[in-house]
Structure 1
Amino acid sequence: MTGESEPEVTADVLGTLVVRVDGVPVSLGHTRQKAVLVVLLTEAGQVVPPDRLIERVWGERPPSRARSVLRTYLSHLRRALAGTGITITWRGTGYLVTAGPGTVDLHRFRRLLTEARSTDDPWRASALADEALGLWRGEPLAELDTPWAHSTREHLRREHAAARADWIDWALTCGRHGELVPELLTRATDDPLDERLAGQLMLALYYEGRQADALEHYQRTRRQLAEELGTDPGPALQDLHHRILSADSSLVIPESRPARESGPAAVPRQLPAPPLPFVGRRDELEHLDAVFTTAGPGATVVISAIAGAGGIGKTWLALHWAHRHIDDFPDGQLFVDLRGFSPDGEAMNSAAAVRGFLDALGVEPGRLPADLHAQAALFRSLVAGKRMLIVLDNAADTGHVSALLPGGRSCTVLVTSRNRLTGLVAGHGAQHFPLDLLTKGEALALLRSRLGADRVDAEPEAVADLLASCGRFPLALGIAAGRARTQPALSLASLAAELAELGLGALDSDDPGASVPAVLSWSLRALAPQEATAFALLSAAPGPDIGLPAATSLLALSPEQTHRTLQALVDASLLDRDVQGRYTMHDLIRAYATTLTSAVPEPERQAALDRVVDFYLQSAVNADRLLDPHRAPIRLGSPSSGVRPQPMADLPDALAWLDVHHPHLLAAQHVAARLHRDQKVWHLAWALSTFHGRRGHRHDKFAVWRAALDAAGRLHDPVARIFAHRLLGSAHAELQRHSNAIEHLHQALDLAQAHGDRLQQARTYDTLAWAWARQGDPGLALENSRYALELFRALEQPVWEANALNTVGWYAAQLGDYDTARNHCEAALTLHRRHQDLDGEAEALDSLGFIDHHTGRHHEALNFYEQSVALFRALGNTVEVARVLDGTGHPHLALGRPTLALHAWREAMELYREQGRDSDAERIQRQLDHLENSVAAGHDSAC
């Protein structure tokens, strides 16, 4: 004998396969090789024939020469396992794995449960089951994805669930009802038809002194059984209900534990069961791993604050990570639900949590100091130097957890909260993990794991609708999956239709833990009144998000007060702030917030919406003045009190603001129309006209002016109606709806003539000219443009006169009268430059380029085109940039420069496509195809 002790060998298959010798992992090779060992360890002590082993490892698609590959894997595994006491041998018809008693966690799990179920001592049974359940570290047989693995995994899950249910019974008998209630509430949400679970929750609630809640849960279970299965609760649950109802004397609240014997205290293992199945969150898990690996047990305290909205999956992530790393904390794990956002509104105070931890660490009640600070100090002393994991779930704020933080350098702490706990990050060096929505792939995987791949894959369109309705929000997906799972005959298409029709109402439930509105309401209780009002008002703000300036006007607060209010909502995970500093609200949270607006008095709601609409209107007009300084202004009137319009520095600043806020301006017009603010409806359309023209938003231009015409019809303002008919006619023309265009333009002209408005007559003639040209009639276009020119001259409007001169010249050129065209366009260019009208100058340069190209002056044409493009680019007018580049290609081609023509046309085609100008893009594509074929065939020597 050498006197050396045998090495401690463990093999884990209840999670990712790990074989350890004295705590050190053994290298087992690649995943498929490990899968072979997983199958053998699962069947340890039994002979597994090669064909069965191949089927379980590879499923229906084994490799060619599978037996040869299997023998190679087994040879490598034997070498890797040498000295571990785990052997693989051939026994007559197959392979046999032999391992020491207690080596394989699965078999140890089953032996511990058998022993627990055979004892009459509930405290011993509870301890044995606790140890058995502690062996689970995630998804069993994680290396395998075969039919056998799926079937075995499902069987193991049922074993785990049965073990957990037995443990709960024993724990209730041992007086541990207080710590069980949070877990039982969660489990009852996931499986509302489990009568045994319902009974356990009722009993725990009753022991907690919550008889009414226990009876209410019975009624909820009874209703769901009747609705879903058409049956009543079984005799056992009915009997328990009667006993609770009558406060039966047999329901004696058990003592928390028998008298302790002398000796070392048990290692606390308070972690609730790991979430099964758990999907996604790979990046977050890797981030947590990285933090833990960098610091590591024994190095420093790692405090990770996992923040996110209610129902986003914070606790699931924390528990899943904790169970994956459970072996790294040999001195135990402490867990407490601090109920910071509890449905009953009563958070656990820090003193109760500290006492619970001291109790778990074996401190006799008589040794407990009376003072909280002394209790916290004792707690820190007991965990000092120990490698423990402390999970503080559902914290309200930093103060809620301060007394529960260890003082040494050996423990790891995970804190979950809906608040961001900035004090914990700043004061204790915590790592902050904001938790976001699931990815599309993760959301789909969650549904597949809950409902089965076959059911999900059979209705892909319905699944896509479900994912859209639930917004990749884990709680919402879980509720939808739970409803589908308890109603197997219900098609996913029917469920998706219900969600689409009822919205947030379809995700409501009598059970507060399984209701999106209820869970979100718990966050609301922690808000100050001003913050709660802001939350409701923000849900009605126009657009997909909101910036600080718009929010300042909406809430009628100072910028500083608004920032503090928004930050409070961000900290509560009810708002998100993106990298641009804009505030966004998840669709489900917005839907919930919308239900709260009725709590805000109607006059206050309308005043807030008036202010935010005024903010967008006044800011858009500021931007428009920079886009077109020569445009005649309209009378806006004073903005509402509390509105702070956005100042604009210059043209690029104005364009950038309009690009960002275009959807908000469209939404603001909808809000104004809903509030019957007709003047603001048409003013918003007016403020967007220049921008729409420069960016090519043709359909949006049509929509805003159609709304403006409806609003103008209710106003006693002929100018508003003339504008609306004229601009709506222009929008029709851009969309090739020629008869509608001419009809609206003639109505605008008739109104202008009837009211003696010569300026509007002139502008309508100018638009009519353009509309006839779009319809392919340059003769009528020239005729109407001449009418416009005469009126502008008579009105002494030099900029508009210059526009009309260019228009006459352009249509004359279309008809081949190049001398008339050049004279008018040169006069226009001179007038535009005199009045520093860059837009008009660029238009005139484009016209002169066209004229010179068609009169054989190709070099001069290119010079004009290049100047025009440069000006339009500076003005941000991508619509005209595309059109001028379209023209530029022709003189390049005429001069034997096909490469330059190709460059110009390719850019023009890309811009046409971005602007939705499909017919122009197709025409350019044909030109490019012809030119590229010619170049490829060598027809053009310039190439």
Structure 2
Amino acid sequence: MEFRLLGAVVAVVDGTVVELGPVRQQCVLAALAVDAPGVVSVDRLVDRVWGDDPPLRARKTLLNYLTRLRHALATAGPADAVIRRHAGGYSLRLDPAEIDVHRFRRLCSRARAGDARHAAALLEEALGLWHGDAVAGLTGEWVTAERERLHRERLDAEHDLTGALLALGHGEDLVTGLAARAAEHPWDERAAGHYLLALHRAGRTADALAYYRRLRERLVAELGTEPGTALRDVHRRILGADPALDARSAAAPVVPPRQLPAVPASFVGRDAELGFLDAALDDAKPGRVVVLAIAGAGGIGKTWLALHWIRRRLDRFADGQLFVDLRGFSPAGQPMDPAVAVRGFLGALGVEPARIPAGTQAQAALFRSLVADKRMLLVLDNAVDTEQVVPLLPGGGSCTVVVTSRTQLPGLITGHGARHLPLDVLSGDEATALLADRLGDARTRAEQAAVDRLAGFCGGFPLALGIVAGRAATRPHASLAGLVSELRESGLRALEGVEPTSGLPAVLSWSLHALTEDQATAFTLLGIAPGPDIGLPAAAALVGSPPEACRTTLRVLEQSSLISQDARGRYRMHDLTRRYATDIACELPEGARREALRRVLDFYCHTAFTADRRLAPHRHPIELDPAAAGAGPGRPADDAAAMAWFDSEYANLLAAQHAAVAQKRHTTAWQLAWALTTFQHRSGRREDHLAGWQLAAETTASLPGGATGSLVQRLLGGAYAELGRFEEATRHLDRALALAVEHGDDIAHAYAHRVLALTWARQGDDKLAAMHAADALDLFRGLARPVWEAEALNALGWYTARLGDHDTALTHCLAGLDLFRGNHDPSGEAATLDSLGYIQDHLGHHREAVEYYEQAVRVLRGLGYTFEIANTLDNIGHPYAALGDVERARAAWSEAHELYRRQDRPDEAERVRQRLDALGEPGESQVR
């Protein structure tokens, strides 16, 4: 597929012109093609197609044109040209080399970096792409402006070609063409200078001098100005019979190159990074070239940092500074060939075109020779990979090289000793300072809160901050609070720049061009994955690939600065990058997105279920549907591994439940709530526990099955009870009991009584609690489930103790302890040991109470059950104090107080603090 705009607008497949429809439709294609593969906003497309007079339904009409163009491109030939939709715009996804405008510009750019002979060949090829007027057959304001711009570029290329031919010794053969050009462009002094020189070389010096005289008289008479310096110089040299005009070219005086771009106007922070670069330069070993590799995402400020640092250290680079944009992630075309950059460096170093060797290796050798002993800086900006950089490294040890790239360039680090500087976003204070620097102190002070919100929206991304600051600066009288509202409404589209390629979405899109299709798909899917980060197993399930293959893909995305990996080995995206990935996810087929989410949700649900079975093997299990292919669960090796997995994945599991609801996977939603229950109990996450079961109850309202309904109502009721919301708890628990009885489900019936007992106990009604506990015990005994029977025995023993019958309570709890130990249930064992400690303390057997409590604490610590550890430490303080062991009582209550505080349990924390105050300071005598 090839697009031609330098003539009539056509698309060609295998030599056949594709029908592109009406003129306006062709204009849409041209508007996309000139910026391909970048994104063109909808507003800009409307403006390009209709100008200041769009129809009433311009957007709908535009959509119809795009649909027809997609169909035409899809049915005409290979699928290498695709129109894609993005947040706020569209792009033509095609290699720019397949569009004659981009090919023309790339050839012209390469020509300007090479010697005269090479330049002439490239420019002839570039001009050969033209076939009449640009975008012929189209009309409109934008078309007219674009046509004029392209024709100016064509004229510049013709001038460059003439200059190259003159440098190669041509002259007489150019006279006829230059006479026509000079007549067509009578005020173009570059054309006039070329014509003068060609006439002189053709032996027509008198004609050349006469032409100059007429041109000068016309300029003075009609414009009131003398010819420019360059044209006067050619005339002077012809008058003086300068022999150099008869040679191919005269060598220009060699001056040290000073190629650095302008330093950024606003630069704040980066103190640590600047210090790193200073140290790398100052600590370098003599005789070894210093290579500094700055890596980070597009728009993160790599080039700004490099230029700012270089300006501070210019004294170290007295022999000159070379700069080249290697276009590794440029929307304008392919990355620059290192050979082109070498030839550009040779020209900057004063090498005459005739002296430049023909071979690329010889050119690189000459370049290394010229800089070998010089204190020179080379800035290789926007490199795509190590292979592009290595041919440009100097051979001596006196130079410094700064490389910026979106990739981490591991080959440059390991093979060439580069010092790697990963660049992250600005801190909150730095982001605010950058905005203040751009907006001015007065405006910043007047709306400091709005400035803080703007900085927060940009997430520390320098490019995003620059776009927002620029938008505010162009509206000096508008309120910053209004801009905040605009950004909230527009989302990532608000960070589209004025120019098609200057916005954050466009910059991020360039990074995707360097990825394979599978890698780009993985990046997009990571954007829609539930939760703030992701581990390798979950990522493998999401993208549907084996873990090792997925690890390779993630490594590529990390090296491309699209994701980052933390110390725990988990992957995450910057918020703005993730927003971009989410926006472009709509380009994936709906089925692919749905299946990816199914795989990752199945992975989370099945692994959580497996981890819960590890923590609570005697808990009555639920039945899961088979996991999707490629979503097999992880299997924690022990309780510690299960708790660690829950802890690392907790935020993702909560997000997964919400994602399941959004996907209408109601069964997965309540099963995730079930699988999280044990972990949430052990870690004291009571608010999350309630929220999860509220969500589960909403999603299961329409599901059939009494067992599920009773389970959800029971666990929701228990969650309310844990937070002291007893009216709601009782309502849901009564419903759970009724459903269990209605469906003859003895297990659900027994558990409903068990949780009702707990709920009434929390309300202070131990008698009613004991009645429900006795009912639960009878039912559990009938089910022949010893662990469940042990739970009921411990519960009944506890409530009986609370009623004052400590001997009976002791009998129940000792029986429960034997069952727990015999069936290897440490969680139940710890709970019963705590009950026995309470009973013995109230029997006056304080030493026995301490022994039971200490055993309970040891078991709970092994389980990581921090919520109950706090309770048991609170309890053990009493028998310690009764035995006169004040220091152990203080230690237990101090730890309990700290745990209560961390668990956001203020009432319990205050109660224990009062006990500590009553103990007095350590070493203080106690009044008893």
- Where does residue 284 of structure 1 map in the other structure? 273
Given residue 271 of structure 1, which amino acid in structure 2 is its aligned partner?
A: L
**Offset at residue 463 of structure 1 (A):** 2.3
| Alignment equivalent of 2:523, drawn from 535, 538, 542 | 535
Given residue 277 of structure 1, which amino acid in structure 2 is its aligned partner?
A: S
Once structures 1 and 2 are overlaid, which stretch shifts more, 901-910 or 880-889?
901-910
The answer as to whether partners of 1:896 and 1:940 remain within 8 angstroms in 2 is: no
**Offset at residue 457 of structure 1 (A):** 3.0
Q: Deviations over 1:182-219 (max 9, x none)?
A: 9xxxxxxxxxxxxxxxxxxxxxxx9x99x999xxxx99
- Where does residue 723 of structure 2 map in the other structure? 735
| Alignment equivalent of 2:875, drawn from 868, 887, 905 | 887
- Where does residue 518 of structure 1 map in the other structure? 506
**Offset at residue 560 of structure 1 (A):** 1.9
Q: Deviations over 1:707-747 (max 9, x none)?
A: 11122222212221111111111111112111000000001
Asked if residue 350 in structure 1 is aligned to residue 308 in structure 2, the reply is no
The answer as to whether partners of 1:469 and 1:503 remain within 8 angstroms in 2 is: no
- Where does residue 940 of structure 1 map in the other structure? 927
State the secondary structure of the residue aligned to 1:363.
coil
Q: Deviations over 1:605-654 (max 9, x none)?
A: 11111111111111111111111111122111211011232121111111
How does 1:870-885 map onto structure 2 within 5 Å? 870-885=858-873
CA distance in 2, matches of 1:924, 1:458: 47
State the secondary structure of the residue aligned to 1:871.
helix
**Offset at residue 366 of structure 1 (A):** 1.6
Identify if the C-alpha distance between structure 1 residues 838 and 335 changes in structure 2 by more than 3 Å, giving closer, same or farther: same
The answer as to whether partners of 1:862 and 1:888 remain within 8 angstroms in 2 is: yes
**Offset at residue 329 of structure 1 (A):** 1.1
Given residue 595 of structure 1, which amino acid in structure 2 is its aligned partner?
A: D
CA distance in 1, matches of 2:348, 2:658: 59
Given residue 927 of structure 2, which amino acid in structure 1 is its aligned partner?
A: D
- Where does residue 364 of structure 1 map in the other structure? 352
- Where does residue 562 of structure 1 map in the other structure? 550
Identify if the C-alpha distance between structure 1 residues 724 and 666 changes in structure 2 by more than 3 Å, giving closer, same or farther: same
| Alignment equivalent of 1:581, drawn from 529, 545, 569 | 569
| Alignment equivalent of 2:540, drawn from 552, 570, 575 | 552
- Where does residue 25 of structure 1 map in the other structure? none
Gaps of 5+ in 2: 1-107, 114-126, 156-183, 195-229, 234-243
Given residue 534 of structure 2, which amino acid in structure 1 is its aligned partner?
A: I
Given residue 582 of structure 1, which amino acid in structure 2 is its aligned partner?
A: R
Once structures 1 and 2 are overlaid, which stretch shifts more, 755-764 or 793-802?
793-802
- Where does residue 440 of structure 1 map in the other structure? 428
State the number of aligned residues. Answer: 721
**Offset at residue 701 of structure 1 (A):** 0.6
The answer as to whether partners of 1:508 and 1:517 remain within 8 angstroms in 2 is: yes
Identify if the C-alpha distance between structure 1 residues 903 and 643 changes in structure 2 by more than 3 Å, giving closer, same or farther: same
What TM-score does the superposition give when structure 1 sets the normalisation length?
0.73
Asked if residue 478 in structure 1 is aligned to residue 463 in structure 2, the reply is no
- Where does residue 696 of structure 1 map in the other structure? 684
CA distance in 2, matches of 1:251, 1:569: 50
The answer as to whether partners of 1:345 and 1:525 remain within 8 angstroms in 2 is: no
Given residue 258 of structure 2, which amino acid in structure 1 is its aligned partner?
A: R
The answer as to whether partners of 1:752 and 1:761 remain within 8 angstroms in 2 is: yes
Asked if residue 851 in structure 1 is aligned to residue 866 in structure 2, the reply is no
The answer as to whether partners of 2:564 and 2:571 remain within 8 angstroms in 1 is: yes
CA distance in 2, matches of 1:855, 1:453: 72
| Alignment equivalent of 1:707, drawn from 672, 689, 695 | 695
State the secondary structure of the residue aligned to 1:514.
coil
- Where does residue 263 of structure 2 map in the other structure? 274
**Offset at residue 245 of structure 1 (A):** 10
CA distance in 1, matches of 2:725, 2:189: 82
Given residue 257 of structure 2, which amino acid in structure 1 is its aligned partner?
A: P
Once structures 1 and 2 are overlaid, which stretch shifts more, 495-504 or 469-478?
495-504
- Where does residue 898 of structure 1 map in the other structure? 886
**Offset at residue 299 of structure 1 (A):** 2.4
The answer as to whether partners of 1:312 and 1:473 remain within 8 angstroms in 2 is: yes
- Where does residue 930 of structure 1 map in the other structure? 918
Asked if residue 295 in structure 1 is aligned to residue 295 in structure 2, the reply is no
CA distance in 1, matches of 2:825, 2:261: 72
CA distance in 1, matches of 2:370, 2:672: 67
Q: Deviations over 1:287-334 (max 9, x none)?
A: 1111111126x6211111111100000001111111111111111110
Identify if the C-alpha distance between structure 1 residues 836 and 712 changes in structure 2 by more than 3 Å, giving closer, same or farther: same
The answer as to whether partners of 1:682 and 1:720 remain within 8 angstroms in 2 is: no
State the secondary structure of the residue aligned to 1:432.
strand
The answer as to whether partners of 1:508 and 1:515 remain within 8 angstroms in 2 is: yes
**Offset at residue 898 of structure 1 (A):** 2.3
- Where does residue 907 of structure 2 map in the other structure? 919
Q: Deviations over 1:10-53 (max 9, x none)?
A: xxxxxxxxxxxxxxxxxxxxxxxxxxxxxxxxxxxxxxxxxxxx
State the secondary structure of the residue aligned to 1:545.
coil
Given residue 824 of structure 1, which amino acid in structure 2 is its aligned partner?
A: H
The answer as to whether partners of 2:378 and 2:400 remain within 8 angstroms in 1 is: yes
Given residue 393 of structure 2, which amino acid in structure 1 is its aligned partner?
A: L
Identify if the C-alpha distance between structure 1 residues 783 and 644 changes in structure 2 by more than 3 Å, giving closer, same or farther: same
| Alignment equivalent of 1:496, drawn from 484, 488, 491 | 484
**Offset at residue 499 of structure 1 (A):** 2.0
CA distance in 1, matches of 2:884, 2:543: 63
- Where does residue 454 of structure 2 map in the other structure? 466
How does 1:322-471 map onto structure 2 within 5 Å? 322-471=310-459
Identify if the C-alpha distance between structure 1 residues 253 and 881 changes in structure 2 by more than 3 Å, giving closer, same or farther: farther
The answer as to whether partners of 2:467 and 2:497 remain within 8 angstroms in 1 is: no
Bigger RCO (CA 8 Å, 6+ sep):
2
The answer as to whether partners of 1:549 and 1:644 remain within 8 angstroms in 2 is: no
- Where does residue 117 of structure 1 map in the other structure? none
Identify if the C-alpha distance between structure 1 residues 612 and 252 changes in structure 2 by more than 3 Å, giving closer, same or farther: farther
- Where does residue 88 of structure 1 map in the other structure? none
CA distance in 2, matches of 1:830, 1:493: 67
CA distance in 2, matches of 1:713, 1:707: 10
**Offset at residue 469 of structure 1 (A):** 1.1
- Where does residue 711 of structure 2 map in the other structure? 723
What percentage of aligned pairs have identical amino acids? 52
Identify if the C-alpha distance between structure 1 residues 313 and 594 changes in structure 2 by more than 3 Å, giving closer, same or farther: same
Identify if the C-alpha distance between structure 1 residues 263 and 744 changes in structure 2 by more than 3 Å, giving closer, same or farther: closer
Q: Deviations over 1:230-284 (max 9, x none)?
A: xxxxxxx99x989959978345668999988668511111111111232111111
| Alignment equivalent of 2:633, drawn from 633, 645, 650 | 645
Identify if the C-alpha distance between structure 1 residues 295 and 827 changes in structure 2 by more than 3 Å, giving closer, same or farther: same
CA distance in 2, matches of 1:313, 1:586: 15
CA distance in 1, matches of 2:560, 2:873: 52
**Offset at residue 384 of structure 1 (A):** 1.4
**Offset at residue 914 of structure 1 (A):** 1.8
Once structures 1 and 2 are overlaid, which stretch shifts more, 762-771 or 903-912?
903-912
Given residue 344 of structure 2, which amino acid in structure 1 is its aligned partner?
A: G
CA distance in 1, matches of 2:872, 2:317: 70
How does 1:586-625 map onto structure 2 within 5 Å? 586-625=574-613
Identify if the C-alpha distance between structure 1 residues 802 and 179 changes in structure 2 by more than 3 Å, giving closer, same or farther: same
The answer as to whether partners of 1:678 and 1:714 remain within 8 angstroms in 2 is: no
- Where does residue 305 of structure 1 map in the other structure? 293
Gaps of 5+ in 1: 1-176, 183-205, 223-236
State the secondary structure of the residue aligned to 2:920.
helix
How does 1:24-173 map onto structure 2 within 5 Å? none
Given residue 337 of structure 1, which amino acid in structure 2 is its aligned partner?
A: D
CA distance in 2, matches of 1:262, 1:525: 41
**Offset at residue 180 of structure 1 (A):** 15
State the secondary structure of the residue aligned to 2:378.
strand
- Where does residue 785 of structure 1 map in the other structure? 773
The answer as to whether partners of 1:517 and 1:592 remain within 8 angstroms in 2 is: yes
Asked if residue 862 in structure 1 is aligned to residue 850 in structure 2, the reply is yes
**Offset at residue 931 of structure 1 (A):** 2.8
